[in-house]
Chain A
């Protein structure tokens, strides 16, 4: 049935991890996926925004809020969104205590980072999309 595949639900909160090559880049990606799995935000395609794909840009415009998670001070994800004309709520894992090349990416670290982000400045916004984390 076509209706089952409907993509017309509210865009809500979209999350863009930098997904960079380093340990903190990986952490940004896995934290974002955890938050998406928990229903706190929807994972979105940073590459599509960087490529200025009109459909991606317009889809992002439909969101209530945009969140970026960057692994380091380069802030690539934040800058890509800004370059496309957006003003995201930005998190830098370094500011949250995760150092580049010194961070072990495991379930415990992912949980800690997700908790810091969920409990940080985006708490009010994220709670609009969800109700909290599933705990998985």
Chain B
């Protein structure tokens, strides 16, 4: 599984990254967590509000900092 955090690196993006890392750790699953900070790349995803979260290339959330539990729910599906 590939999890991407889309955002230019503001505190909200960092918090979302931390929450994603915690979710992956708690679920004890194999996942690669990456960051997309380039505005052009973020726009390619159609994201207009950051931070956003993409799982395996599909944006599942934008404009909010999902909690660890919310992320766990999404990536457990």
- Taking the closest CB of chain A, its distance from the CB of B9, in whole angstroms, is 5
Q: Is A3 a contact of B9 with CB atoms below 8 Å?
A: yes
Number of interface residues, chain B, beta carbon within 8 A: 25
- Residue numbers in B under 8 Å from A54 (CB-CB): 45-46, 58-60
Contact A6 B60 (CB under 8 A): no
Q: Are A56 and B48 in contact (CB under 8 A)?
A: yes
Q: Which residues of B contact A11 (CB under 8 A)?
A: 49, 63
Shortest B47–chain A CB gap in Å is 4
Residue of chain A at shortest CB distance from B12: A8
Interface size for chain A: under 10, 10 to 19, 20 to 34, or 35 or more residues?
10 to 19
- In the assembled complex, the CB of B55 is this many whole angstroms from the nearest CB of chain A, namely 10
> Which 3 pairs show the lowest CB-CB distances between chains A and B?
A62-B63, A55-B46, A53-B46
Interface residues of B (CB under 8 A from A): 7-10, 12-13, 37, 39, 42, 45-52, 54, 58-64
